[in-house]
Amino acid sequence: MKYYTKRIDSTDCHIFEFMPDLDTILACTGESTLQKLENINHDWHEKTKKQIAGINASYFWGNNPVGGVYVDSGYLRNNFSNDKKWSTLIYDGGVLSIDDTSDIAKLKLKYPRASFMLQLGGKLVVDGKISLNSVKFDHSDYRNPRTAIGQKLDGTIVFFATDGRTDRGFTIAELAKVMLELGCATAINCDGGGSSTMTINKKMVNTNENRKVINGFFCYSAKEVEEVKKKSDEVIKKPSKKKLLLLDDGHGTDTSGKRTPKLPNNTIIKENEFNRRVVDLIEDTALKSGLFEVIQVAPELNDVPLETRTNRANKAYDDWVKSGNKGSDVVYISVHFNALNGVFDGKSGGVESLVYELRGDTLRLGQAIHNEVLKGTRQISRGVKARSDLWVLRRTKMLACLVEYGFMDKLEEARLMLNKEFQEECARETLTGICKFFDIKFENLIEDNWKAAIRARSDSADAWIKKIERLSQDQEWKYLPLLIEKLYAK
């Protein structure tokens, strides 16, 4: 048995490995109430063995698991769903298997010795190869804290959990790659986000919310606890050829006052409805370009304190530099929609870009973004301004820019907040400005791998390639994100 940590792609990963035998077993609980993982016990095994390690397991809603739960060789805790997002993890005779069957009767016949069967949030590795569900959860493509369980070919069981949102986190596809690289021939995703938890000796070891969960997987052993190794100092350093983009959506969905006055149709628009959409669009397009690593510093819907946002950003920056990358390749962008006095009186309006000081690269970043945003939007310019008093500008270690794309209390601009074309325009122009700041050339997009990608997505591949080559020669910066978006829409 061993417990250790690895730093993988700017994320602290906690790993516990053990070989099941007569003295060491894998158990799963079927709780009916939410409890912190450190307080969950398997009553039968507690009589003869010690709980060495645990990770959270099922998704849940309220006090009930989501997805099928069959435990202790006969206890059906929750019915199985035929939703294609789920896959069933079976533990039968010391072997973990993954099955897409949702019929519990058929599963019992196929796995007659199964001690537990749980529907979990998507397979990761099957038969030593990455294998993802055809239908995905909404969160699958977002980087979040993750929990997973897997098994190596020699029978070793692997518990895996990451630290919380102070780290980069993984998409489901990235998590599958990590589990494969850890040697797993079988692996499946468990509940993640704030629920992601690992315990050693009934104490939480990863840094996260320590949220109450519905059940878990546990290692019970009669062996001495001292056999569990302490954390290693191993750090995986992977210098990146990309830039690091830190994105901040400004406010949560229910932050007081961050909304429009009542519109003529008696509705209001929350600032986060615009901010979140633009941040997601920037992230999606930047990732598709292959030119950026992206971290959202406040992916939660609730209001994340400013200090938490900047702490997460600064930690990501430190990790980036420790991995051999340049600090000058990191920028922090905070997306906002402004307000003057909370009434539609026509006195407000316009776009402004805020930076810490009006000099050097700080000013150049603000100007690059501001000038591009003005090319596509219809508002007046309020200029690039120095605001050294703003927390996200003065407490971040990297270059930072806060963009106010309009005013919530100017009726014409408030109506634009939910306009899809306006949101896309703001995202495109912001990313174009960032590209211009970094002096990223269009030639990056016409290498052989991009040509192959275009041909795979378009019947008129040669025309697409010529279009990109022509625009690169003309230095038409503003079309970079748009071309990427269209390319991936094919």
pLDDT digits (tens, 9 = 90+) for 324-339: 899 999 999 999 999 9
- Asked whether 400 and 331 are in contact (CB, 8 A), the reply is yes
The pLDDT score that the predictor gives to residue 65 is 86
Exposure string over 450-466, b if 16+ CB within 10 A, otherwise e: bbebbeeebeebeebbe
Per-residue pLDDT at 465 exceeds 70:
no
pLDDT tens-digit profile of 228-240?
444 433 333 456 7
Per-residue pLDDT at 301 exceeds 80:
no
Rg of the chain over Cα atoms, rounded to whole angstroms, equals 25
Structure tokens at 131: 């294998």
The pLDDT score that the predictor gives to residue 32 is 64
Averaged pLDDT for residues 405-423: 93
Among 148-152, 376-380, 428-432, the range scoring the smallest mean pLDDT is 376-380
**pTM to 2 decimal places:** 0.56
Most confident of 220-229, 282-291, 447-456, 457-466: 282-291
Pick from 84, 90, 99, 107: nearest CA to 28 = 90
The pLDDT score that the predictor gives to residue 467 is 56
Q: Which CATH class is domain 243-437?
A: alpha beta
Rounded-to-integer distance, Cα 425 and Cα 104, Å: 49
122 band by pLDDT with thresholds 50, 70 and 90:
confident
Averaged pLDDT for residues 303-319: 92
The pLDDT score that the predictor gives to residue 231 is 41
Structure tokens at 148: 């997973």
